[in-house]
Structure 1
């Protein structure tokens, strides 16, 4: 879950309109031809050489002898988790909108077909698709997934679909865009399945589990299975709400209004009473109390999730004009202020501990011992030293900024704050944004930083000249992993693994290397294509 693919809040009509308008001047004719040629060459490489059956992973060696998503992928696997196949489909549609070149539409169709072939019968998606079938996928889970010490979500094959990391949401939004583009019947049935998946998986109280259909497994590491809890982590609910709003506006499905409202109200129901008026990463379905998940996610309040949920409540107020969504925001802000770390414990601008113990308001810090998934273990205590580095125990939370935004919204009338809301506007009057990958997002595959620079002439010239003869931008593959060599030993290997991203040689978790080799990065392709689209089409920078 280390991927950074954040969308900041739900889109209003005004924001969607802003995305469609030009900001930068168009390139000169000669520059335009070079931009178009560079885009075509880069896309031809990705479609002809990098894709597997129309789908994509995150990065690869130039000869594709090793390929990675969040973990190393087998030769037949593609990634759904962003920035994977769905993100690439969105980029192809963005390029099609900028150029009207049918080759980009054809690439989007290939990506969509790859996703549809891997769509779970329930209508959602797993993190990954193995084009070689179920047996091959199970072998991968029993080898690479099972031995990725810190990647507990991959250590067990559930056989269902997940909302984690926006994979299902992004794939669903992509199918919606593709269907609306030309209203081709091929996409209506899988789109309907995706919509029904979101509806079927929603609890009566409006929340969503992390995975669905619900698992009946006993769980991992001696804990109950956490995947059925109401999940706020990684913006599960916010992404589903966004997708349903898009469908409500563009497809005219009024039946989606009640699920949307129930989902927003679940945020209110799960906010805990003062003085600890925050949220956890996930909440028990019956008690609505914060619950533990992975072994490094204790039963606790989460400061960064609380901040994200406050942001969602601001969005809900803008969408509805209903003040109930911001009524208890001051309580949440007061709680966040009360758990701010003293200056001496703050790290690199990180002002708050990630986890707070219910009842005591004491910070909980995450540590580990051992060297691999067999002999290792995670634990939490009150010691802020030597915490694990792959899951931050400290967060940057801008309480003052949120308080300013609350004061601004609270001073506005409900009519003013909700003007242009797609929920309140006449159905069909608010379309989808012209561009999706040019929104305020960060698309990182752990190798590319995902931060798109402005389309300045020197940047564009560098991208044109930097595309190599094969048609890709050589990128240092900073995120790599140990190859699978067999299950970990029960004996702890020599060395220090408490604060490393990876354990001993049997650990298949990704880590950042000091000696990267050059390779192919999907994230870098998406980022660079976004810059070229900006230069070509005058689209706004994030």
Structure 2
């Protein structure tokens, strides 16, 4: 291969890698590395906990992560696998385990409609968790159960009715947690305090803020609901907010050693920061010291390269 052709190929490969990391379309999917995806169906049965849920890592035996959780796609992924297995062979041990898992999700829900990251937990794990679409993915599953759709046609009417009520309650919780700034609805945080319903922090670099990524998945789910004045107003306000905080004139460049933001006036397609400061709508970036910065370059390289600070998540919603 000629040198010029090789250079072109390398450049194209680099461009694809950048796009894959920073410009992912927003979809609600189960991650390929979730334990429930990669484990055998026998391991899923074996590791179902007494409360009906699953750990995100079956090998953990102590601490918060030894509890049942919806983090990293845990529990609802196992339920889906079990329902699919039951549909294939009609062995009741799979349907029974799936039903036990569904009942766990129903029991896990707060009275205010939200779901915590970890069941009966402490610290930020007990916050209402929109992060990585955890709560929304639970609601998508329960909506399928409520309507006996797909692999959940086997559930009885009582469980379907309970699931419908849980989804309705979840919608109410979503509407109550939408952040109001100066009397105007905006968007949602990654997680919200289970008592005050206000945006809350999690890890040191995840401070209370508005999250473009998580808000997109919330809006997409709201759009599947029967329309009413509250839902319509919520959707419009959040889409207006997302439009207002899109950033043009920059491009995010990822190399093998760092991530940088380059000013480029020719870039007219918007990109979004993951987090925005409540009240100012400024894009924010936070390192492990927990100090808010307004430039990606101002936080340590380990965090610059180890987190999705920019993306085009709202693009498919707003087109």
Q: TM-score range by the shorter chain?
A: 0.7 to 0.9
Cα distance in 2, alignment partners of residues 390 and 330 from structure 1:
33
Counterparts of 1:297 and 1:350, CA distance in 2: 23
Aligned match of 1:210: 117
Q: Where does residue 317 of structure 2 map in the other structure?
A: 402
Which residue in 1 is equivalent to 2:90? 183
8 A contact 2:117–2:129 mirrored in 1? yes
Aligned to 2:189, what secondary structure does the other structure show?
coil
- Number of the residue aligned with 1:230: 128
Q: Do residues 329 (structure 1) and 249 (structure 2) align?
A: no
Query: 1:115 — aligned with what?
Result: 44
Q: Distance in 2 between matches of 1:81 and 1:330?
A: 29
Aligned-pair distance for 1:378? 4.9
* Structure 2 length-normalised TM: 0.74
* Runs of 5+ consecutive residues of structure 1 not aligned to the other structure: 11-79, 90-110, 131-136, 142-155, 217-224, 369-376, 405-542
How many residues are treated as equivalent by the alignment? 268
Please report how far the alpha carbon of residue 185 of structure 1 lies from its aligned counterpart in structure 2 after TM superposition: 2.2
The answer to whether 1:382 aligns with 2:259 is no
Q: Which residue of 2 aligns with 1:312?
A: 221
User: Which SS does the other structure have where 1:215 is aligned?
Assistant: coil
For residue 289 of structure 1, give the secondary structure of its aligned residue in structure 2. Answer: coil
CA distance change for structure 1 residues 237 and 121 in 2, over 3 Å: closer, same or farther?
A: same
Shift of 1:129: 1.4
Which of 83, 93, 107 is equivalent to 2:33?
Answer: 83
Could you tell me how far apart the structure 2 residues matched to 1:276 and 1:325 are? 12
CA RMSD in angstroms comes to 3.0
Instruction: Say whether 1:246 aligns with 2:152.
Output: no
Residue 398 and residue 191 in structure 1: after superposition, are their counterparts in 2 closer, same or farther (change >3 A)?
A: closer
Partner of 1:161: 68
Bigger Rg, which one:
1
**In the TM superposition, what is the alpha-carbon distance from 1:255 to its structure 2 partner?**
2.4
Matched, 1:347 2:263: no
Q: What are the within-5 Å matches in structure 2 for residues 25-36 of structure 1? A: none
Contact 2:86 2:94 in 1 (8 A): yes
For the 8 Å contact 2:114–2:173, the answer to whether it is kept is yes
Question: Matched residue of 1:255: which SS?
Answer: helix
Are the equivalent residues in 2 in contact too, given 1:238–1:312 (CA < 8 A)? yes
Runs (5+) with no aligned partner, structure 2: 1-20, 254-268
**Deviation, structure 1 residue 169:** 0.8
**1:126–1:167 Cα contact (<8 Å) kept:** yes
Question: Is residue 2:308 matched to residue 1:358?
Answer: no
Shift of 1:329: 1.8
> Mapping of 1:478-517 within 5 angstroms?
none
1:284–1:290: 8 Å Cα contact kept in structure 2? Answer: yes
Alignment of 1:11-26 (within 5 A): none
1:171 Cα offset (Å): 0.5
2:103 aligns with one of 187, 191, 196: 196
| TM-score for the superposition, normalised by structure 1 | 0.45
The alpha-carbon deviation at position 116 of structure 1 amounts to: 1.6
Q: Which residue of 2 aligns with 1:18?
A: none
Aligned-pair distance for 1:195? 1.2
State the distance in 2 between where 1:190 and 1:207 align: 23
1: distance between equivalents of 2:227 and 2:83?
A: 27
**Alignment partner of 1:392 out of 302, 305, 308:** 308
Deviation at 1:256, TM superposition (A): 1.9
Shift of 1:346: 4.5
5 Å-filtered alignment, 1:142-161, equals 157-161=64-68
Q: Deviations over 1:509-533 (max 9, x none)?
A: xxxxxxxxxxxxxxxxxxxxxxxxx
Quote the Cα distance in structure 2 between the aligned partners of 1:162 and 1:197: 10
Q: Distance in 1 between matches of 2:313 and 2:104?
A: 34
> Does the 8 Å CA contact 1:277/1:335 hold for their aligned counterparts?
yes
Match of 2:191 in 1: 282
C-alpha spacing 1:208/1:129, structure 2 compared with 1 (3 Å): same
Secondary structure at 1:328 match in 2:
helix
Instruction: Please give the alpha-carbon distance, in whole angstroms, between the structure 1 residues aligned to 2:26 and 2:314.
Output: 17
Per-residue deviation, 1:292: 0.4
